[in-house]
Structure 1
């Protein structure tokens, strides 16, 4: 037996796994240049801000609402009140108004980034991220902190539209799925960051530091964005093909062959186009060229996209996936994990929240390459199946008081989400439609996401109570998983390895996109 154990130990990792890991390492080392890493990380600060603001009120709730009022002197030298007295309903409004701002930001950002460019939209979004936390951190009343949360929500909604689009357009074609997962990874980083701060600063009026840190992050991103270029794909589509090539060459490196990627843009670089751009070639990376009237007229608005038969199937697909992301119940765990698990595990509520956030981040990061290997649709369906099964196990465990089963089901629930429904939905919009409609499609996707987030955050406690508590509400999430999973399996096409929207939908419907 000892010899067999030793042999088995030597067999892992297997030669095939080792070769695969080495191939992945060499591919990433070749395709992902230091400059690409820089612009990806700067762009991903936007989704990080979304995660941060989503959970910033979780840990310090009792301190902010005066439920836990300190008897010591104020920790910060300020004339502002140590807390803001509010009841449960008022706090719910302060929390949920963030989702209303997110809906507004998502609807605005799509047309904006299509018409005026990804870079300008990111800069405007980052400015909003600076303003919102100022209102929040210095709020003397419920109305002021609500205004701050609404403004921060606008930034969050916008960042989840433009960030994934930009990342998908600058990522190497073979790593779009892997790098597309960066959006959800950074959302989880933001959640974990604010939970850790909440664990240490949920006392006195130190909660104002938690809310104010987001503004400092916004200032940092705004400065770093000056070295981030416009999306090459957007420039090419808006009659700046030569400038697009120059930026793409800088992103990919001097030795990389760009011809296949440039050909996928389906843009002809005419002499007239190149002549218009000669004066731009010496401009710094952050310079944003003006889009021509012709280019602007080619952009598709959010209502034009849903009315057009060529784009409607894609919008239905991304809306269904975004509904599945939220209505299968992930935010019931992220936002209400304290109430769910406080009686199941022997630790403090704050540490429980930190642990779940850390697990979500870890699994999302480890599973990031999956969508490029087995496909976007496969990852989504595996994720939905895992969450539906985990929801049933969680309901059984809580209903019958089986603490171990409930705890394991909760961890499996978060793990299943991280496999597909976490990262993949943010990739789809850019792969299901052409660049002229990707902003509008992403806006519809994120609008659906924010609406579903609001539904879960507002009605989960009500429905849970109406069903007698004890986790029976998770049977509802399991049924929703079955319904949405079946629809997605039937309707949503696979996009992995496809060169454009025509190929994606042409293979499914046997038709060309109407120009």
Structure 2
């Protein structure tokens, strides 16, 4: 397992092909980001159109997350059976249908059902698209290429907030805009190749080799990579029970846990509810939306930085640089909400600054790494199901946070809610220090070899 592809042999043409594949596939992230982010603005208009309690607002917001739970679990086995490419095409179709249904919802019940449908496709995209990109990307560029999916997510969230600001209370138009990237993704996927690793798993080596030659730009490089893939692909397709095998279990622990921490440290809670929390603290409607929108712009910038850094300093090191700062931002933000909340313009400005810092460092830290790590760490024969499990962990804890945030703020107050998220973030930091492995620069087959050799966790690498 020491065979390594020459990192400098890829041609400009082959690199361009891989980049084109990555950009088109990552449009699923834009859809995911837009449809999850737009609800934060749409709630302000929906509450004027429908009678909505805290519970109803949380259910409308959480419907997409609930649907995602089913989407991410079902996608893994389906993509292992029928291929990564066809599943992404189906995801685009469901996105388009869900967006149209949401826009024309005659009632809250219909809207909830429509957002559940959107959730099916959102959950599927978080499982299948990072896996697809990871399986076609060269090892030395895999980080930035998979992270493009996360960039599209935060870009979609930013587009959602500023579209919402322009459209005001026109929530139907907000939902309808989701159709545009869905159609682009659908058309684009008809021109993209299947994952060569999936083709090898299905004993279609000739076609896999042809695709590898095209995306690597060299038959020599393609042949070396093909040999590595065949070493790990010659085993039956895995089952859910295989994820419980002792040698695979560390990957399950890392994948599911990092997805969990990305949610219970509060980032999606603020993406979904920041405008609502800020208006309750005395911000105007426009100021709350623009303040949150400005924070997401900085998050986009941080995601670009992260996409470069994960391949330069590594996934684990990047998290160790970002998460401590997000803890400080949460502590300060909690302090600023003490008592009746910010009473001066300076206090309100500081809250927006802390919100932006938190989003940049937490969302820009976990968000950059969770889909990347979950697409890398599982053995090929269970990669689809393993990535599904990681996505399920993300969505189940996202649902928990979505259904409790407003109630938690009402019960504890914003101050203690933010401090609770800070405490959980400290636990997450300890997890990163001791357990998250460094996968920078390794082929997917080398990562699988580390699992088999019982040197996967961070503390195990320090020992060996």
TM (norm. structure 2) is 0.87
Q: Determine the structure 2 residue equivalent to 1:10.
A: none
Q: Determine the structure 1 residue equivalent to 2:71.
A: 105
Residues 255 and 503 (structure 1 numbering): CA distance in 2 closer, same or farther, change over 3 Å? closer
Residues 176 and 147 (structure 1 numbering): CA distance in 2 closer, same or farther, change over 3 Å? same
> 2:238 aligned with 1:300, yes or no?
yes
Q: Determine the structure 2 residue equivalent to 1:73.
A: none
Structure 2 residues not aligned, in runs of 5+: 1-6
State the Cα deviation string for residues 195-249 of structure 1 (Å, max 9, x = none): 222112233xx42222122123322321221101101111122211221111122
Report deviation, 1:422: 1.2
Residue of structure 1 aligned with 2:184, choices 220, 228, 232? 220
Q: Determine the structure 2 residue equivalent to 1:477.
A: 421
State the Cα deviation string for residues 404-460 of structure 1 (Å, max 9, x = none): 543432222122125431111111123222111111111111111011111222212
Structure 2 distance, partners of 1:92, 1:261, is 47
Residue of structure 1 aligned with 2:435, choices 491, 496, 506? 491
> 2:411 aligned with 1:466, yes or no?
yes
Greater helix proportion: 2
Residues 99 and 419 (structure 1 numbering): CA distance in 2 closer, same or farther, change over 3 Å? closer
Q: Determine the structure 2 residue equivalent to 1:132.
A: 98
Residue of structure 1 aligned with 2:312, choices 361, 366, 373? 373
Q: Is the 8 A contact 2:261 2:428 kept in 1?
A: yes
Residues 345 and 118 (structure 1 numbering): CA distance in 2 closer, same or farther, change over 3 Å? same
Residue of structure 1 aligned with 2:230, choices 259, 266, 272? 266
Superposed, 1:43-442 pairs within 5 Å as: 43-65=25-47, 67=48, 83-203=49-169, 206-253=170-217, 257-267=221-231, 298-301=236-239, 303-342=240-279, 348-399=287-338, 401=342, 402-403=347-348, 405-442=350-387
Q: Is the 8 A contact 1:98 1:152 kept in 2?
A: yes
Residues 365 and 222 (structure 1 numbering): CA distance in 2 closer, same or farther, change over 3 Å? same
State the Cα deviation string for residues 237-280 of structure 1 (Å, max 9, x = none): 221122111112222335883344323313499xxxxxxxxxxx
Report deviation, 1:141: 1.4
Q: Determine the structure 2 residue equivalent to 1:9.
A: none
Structure 2 distance, partners of 1:86, 1:29, is 56
Structure 2 distance, partners of 1:487, 1:84, is 43
TM (norm. structure 1) is 0.79
Structure 2 distance, partners of 1:383, 1:323, is 17
Structure 1 residues not aligned, in runs of 5+: 1-23, 68-82, 270-294
User: Which has more radius of gyration?
Assistant: 1
Q: Determine the structure 2 residue equivalent to 1:18.
A: none
Q: Determine the structure 2 residue equivalent to 1:508.
A: 455
Report how many residues are paired. Answer: 441
Which structure carries more relative contact order (alpha carbon 8 Å, separation 6+)?
A: 2
State the Cα deviation string for residues 113-158 of structure 1 (Å, max 9, x = none): 1222101111121121122122211211122211110111000000
Report deviation, 1:103: 0.4
Over aligned residues, Cα RMSD in angstroms?
2.7
